[in-house]
Chain A
Amino acid sequence: MKKLFCFLVLLAVMASFIPGAVFAAEAESSEPVSLVVDLDLSEMSGVIVYSQIYNILWEPAEYLGKVIRMRGYYNYYDDQAHGIVYHACIIPDATACCAQGIEFVWNGDHAWPDDYPEAGTDITVTGRLEIYEEDGSSYLHLVDAELTWEQEILQ
């Protein structure tokens, strides 16, 4: 028994020194704003989140000003004509043929692409839903957003 315990301890110590061992760590925004979440979708199934986001986008009036937390994957759109990069949290539907997403504005000073996760990374976003006008059209986005994701740290 003692030998087995020593072997396991030795194994654990060796593992911690293996070059390139991958550990998960939480990456967080540098200046988190304490938001009180009104609608937490982060623990809900993909079907519910997708449908809820669909409903928010179609009938935003009753959700405006509310703090929404959602989990999805990160993607961006680099609008080079206007020099703006839009960031979004995307959720696919159960059949994986459609996807809905909400644009977010990460709170604090963050440089793109260095501070942002890779496109396709699973992220959790918490932010206040607001509407804004651009080129005569209305768009929704989450402002003052907190962004977290699982980050791979090479040791």
Chain B
Amino acid sequence: MMDKLEMYWSVPSVRTMIEYALIVGVLVAVCSSLLGTTLVLKRFSFIGDGLSHVAFGAMAVAGILRLTDDMLFVLPATALSAILLLYTGKRAKIKGDAAIAMISVGALAVGYLIRNLFPTSANLSGDVCTTLFGSTSILTLNKEEVRLCISLAAAVIILFAALYNKIFAVTFDEDFARASGTNVGAYNLLIAVIVAVIIVLGMNLVGSLLISALIIFPSMSAMRLLRSFRGVTICSAVMSVICTVAGILASVVWSTPVGSTIVAADIAVFIVFLFIGKIKGVIVR
């Protein structure tokens, strides 16, 4: 494995490709795991799936509009859906899982329909497959895309760090946070926008069908061993980065799909943590 990686590293164009993939992979892994803990605790684990399908539909519309940078349309559309789902919260007539399910399958169906009615390339099934499973798009990033990813990820990490206490309060008890003077609505709005940014960034890495795994698995793994919000958040970020780096390198060496390999690594870590948690529980008892 190391021989092969060394060989790839010796070719400048291939090295640049892998470096870009690792930079974006690590940033997406950190961002998704940071918010993952909040979403899992707020019982919004499946929101990543719903929003990624919205992004899929938005990409289809962006294709028709012939936008040079489809991010200009995909990001606002996904953010708007996230706001509808998270911000309206308890006031919405169609609540929680039903709203997510409707938006998820609705956007997927409409997106695929649009792609069929207005194909933008000769290889429709290839385009759909790439968007759904990420395929190799993480290895085909250009400098501008990497820069955009760094900027957005930096914004997400800075916002999360600066507003950590408020996000913590809103995550665990909205009513208490409201009673103590926190503007819960504004923070839910912020979380919704951040989630949308992460989803759009993560689609390059693992594709729209697998993005939920990046949000859920690291947090769930960390929760098998740790109890504090801070501990779970830090542990999930570290594990997510390790799984993503391992997944990208394994994929490059053994020629497996990047997204699926990263998610497989996340699942393996979850199983290991689950066993360790069980053993730890038995010993403590």
Contacts and interface: CB of A to CB of B under 8 A. Distances in A.
Contacts of B182: none
A98 to B, nearest CB: 4
B8 interface: yes
A40 B126 CA distance: 26
Instruction: Identify whether the interface residues of B are mostly helix, strand, loop, or mixed.
Output: helix
B46 to A, nearest CB: 24
A43 interface: yes
Contact of A47 (B123, B129, B133, B252): B252
Interface of A: 39-40, 43-48, 50-52, 54-55, 58-59, 62-63, 93-95, 97-99
B130 A47 contact: no
Interface of B: 4, 7-8, 11, 13-14, 17, 123, 125-126, 129-130, 133, 135-136, 139-140, 142, 251-258
Contact of A94 (B4, B17, B126, B255): B255
9 contacts: A45-B252, A50-B136, A51-B139, A52-B13, A52-B17, A54-B136, A55-B13, A94-B256, A94-B257
Given A45-B4, A98-B126, A54 B251 contact: no
Given A45-B254, A51-B136, A52-B14, A97 B4 contact: no
B125 A97 contact: yes
A94 B251 contact: yes
Given A47-B255, A55-B13, A55-B140, A98 B130 contact: yes
Nearest to B257: A94
A62 B4 CA distance: 24
